[in-house]
Structure 1
């Protein structure tokens, strides 16, 4: 497995454990045998990785602040192709500049949040083998499969097809 994927999985485990609670508690919440969760990232199936990621997303949504609100709006708008700063600002009843300013106060940018949400959703969508990779690319707001493939490889160190084959 690529080092970037190992690093990502370790970061997800660390993030989830940072809220307190043991590895066993985390394993129970994710419905993963504790010995598999404690082992190498390669011990986890794609569905187990997806469950870990969903737990991480749920914890992020519980975090107070402005950027989690923006993140959630981006996630909801991605499939419609309307995850643009102006659209999100209008949803929040603020100007685009105010959106940028409030995100900056939290050391965030709209572009970084969009990239994060796309990466998060890409992992989830790629795990769904019923969706074609072209469909995944469209759901994430990419104009072409090749653009999505380049972004996914940058994020994960593997092409979406290789990632899907390795973890399915």
Structure 2
């Protein structure tokens, strides 16, 4: 099922077409690289590599695969172990050393809003406690799983922070139960309401103001600084990914990559401005073109049945020798030897 964007006018930032995929790489490795992982996506087979960023539709399809192929509800509801939240890296560092439970929950919400533009966390605090609401900004078959997991992650964090079951929390899911309803109170360890008006969690006031026994101001500040840098790099990766797609989509009739003036015109800026923006991200238009040519050459050599001459012509090289020299510089092998070494099993 394709994505349908919701017409919400209040959004301050648009839903981005790409998603940071580090978590998917970790999950795929943990599952032992299953054959079904990429079913329904634009990736080819279990040997395909996941880049830093992937198309949003592919990301959601993989999420759907995880929940439909790994069908045991006790795994998804975390019944065997009742672990901490499925967070890693700088976000985990910040949440572990936040001064209060409220600070840790807000950090999770802010990070998720910055890294995943297709969902939006919002919160409010009153005299009774803290509400955190999770809304989906797209329609897709995988969204119910993401809503459920988002709430489960927050409950896990509350449980980990307090080192005790979060029985005073309340969870509302704006979806029907995916699994046996009787399993949810066991997995969430608190009351769960289905088909609610919104997907949200309530944390009582007496909990959100509790001081964290693991609070460390130095580590908290380090984590915040690293998270800001991480989200900045995410935006830069997205910019570079989109530019690379523009370069590949606007080749000349003879296959040569477009000049910077054409790409700048498409973006509605001057070539000088584009060069300045790329320099601020420690790259250049020449480097982007080189990367696009390298990636496209590798794809065609491995996954197509085109001859070396045809690939050379398709990529705009003046002749086969010129293409061969560039390919050896990129990969250390001739195109023919690289194809033989890396050809998919079904084509050898």
TM-score (norm 1): 0.67
2:24 counterpart of 1:24: no
Does residue 1:67 correspond to 2:252, yes or no? no
> 2: distance between equivalents of 1:61 and 1:30?
13
- Check conservation: 2:293, 2:315, Cα contact below 8 A: yes
Say if 2:273 is the partner of 1:98: yes
RMSD between aligned residues: 2.9
- Segments of 4+ moved more than 4 angstroms: 15-20, 46-49, 60-63
Partner residue of 1:139 out of 310, 314, 318:
314
The separation in 1 between residues aligned to 2:316 and 2:45, in whole angstroms, is: 24
After superposition, residues 150-165 of structure 1 pair within 5 angstroms as 150-165=325-340
Q: CA deviation at 1:134?
A: 1.5
After TM superposition, give the deviation of residue 25 of structure 1 in Å.
4.7
Distance 1:61 1:108, change over 3 A: farther
Q: State the 1:20 CA deviation.
A: 6.0
Please say if residues 152 and 160 of structure 1, whose CA atoms lie closer than 8 Å, have aligned partners that are also in contact.
Answer: yes
Q: Which runs of 5+ in 1 are unaligned?
A: 1-14, 32-45
Conserved? CA contact 1:153–1:160, under 8 Å: yes
Displacement of 1:64 in angstroms is 3.0
2:303 to 109, 112, 128: 128
Give CA deviations for 1:7-33 in whole Å, capped at 9, x if unaligned.
Answer: xxxxxxxx96576623135823357xx
Kept in 2, the 8 Å contact 1:67–1:108? The answer is: no
Match of 1:84 in 2: 259
Cα distance in 1 between the residues matched to 2:32 and 2:294: 23
> Quick check: which one's helix share is greater?
1
Larger Cα-atom Rg: 2
The higher relative CO (CA closer than 8 Å, separation ≥ 6) is in: 1
Q: Secondary structure at the match of 2:310?
A: helix
Q: In the aligned structure 2, how far is the partner of 1:123 from the partner of 1:161?
A: 11
Change (3 A) 1:103 1:19: farther
Match of 1:8 in 2: none
1:56 to 27, 43, 51: 51
Contact 2:33 2:46 in 1 (8 A): no
Q: Do the aligned partners of 2:328 and 2:334 also contact (CA within 8 Å) in 1? A: yes
User: Structure 1 residues 129, 73: closer, same or farther in 2, change over 3 A?
Assistant: closer
**Shift, 1:128, TM fit:** 3.2
Count of paired positions: 136
CA–CA distance in structure 2, aligned partners of residues 26 and 125 of structure 1? 27
Contact 1:133 1:145 in 2 (8 A): yes
